[in-house]
Amino acid sequence: MKEYTTEFIRNIALVSHGSGGKTMLAEAFLHFTGATTRLGKIEDGTTVSDYEDEEIRRKLSLYTSVLPVEYKDHKINVLDTPGYTDFIGEVISALRVADGALVLVDAVAGLEVGTEIAWGYCEAFKLPRFLVVSKLDRDNANF
């Protein structure tokens, strides 16, 4: 990866309730920008961001992972955050350094408490954000 000056670096946090699709969206960013040759799977323990033994065993993120992606002469640090409120400190830390946030809402489960909490912190930190509806390909998706 080449070196970038600060005007070409962005930090983007992925936030939502637990199992909202953050890690798989991060995997898609990595794969479709050529950073990886395949999409990892949470079920198989092969995602780039969930690499700790405990994360693989539980099949959920416990820590924020920084995933560098190169796109159109910019370096984008994707911050894949945990979704469960037990780990809210990780989310707050990521949002404090982020330039913006992608807030994911599960198309099946709808708006959940973890997403509302993350949105509140984005609001408090005056972060620009995009709303992303995830899991649109699932049965019973309601959008």
User: Is 53 part of a structural domain of the chain?
Assistant: yes
Residue 34 CB neighbours (<10 A) = 10
- Report pLDDT for 109: 95
Q: Is 142 inside any structural domain?
A: no
DSSP run (H or E) holding 23: helix 22-32
Residue 79, domain extent: 8-134
pLDDT digits (tens, 9 = 90+) for 55-84: 999 999 999 999 999 999 999 999 999 999
- Could you tell me if residue 3 is inside a domain? no
Count of C-beta atoms within a 10 Å radius of residue 87: 18
Tell me whether residue 98 is in a domain: yes
Q: What was the pLDDT predicted at 143?
A: 73
Structural domains of the chain, count: 1
Distance CA 72, CA 139 (A): 35
Q: What CATH number is given to the structural domain containing 54?
A: 3.40.50.300
Query: Whole-model pTM?
Result: 0.96
In-domain check, residue 143? no
pLDDT digits (tens, 9 = 90+) for 5-38: 999 999 999 999 999 999 999 999 999 999 999 9
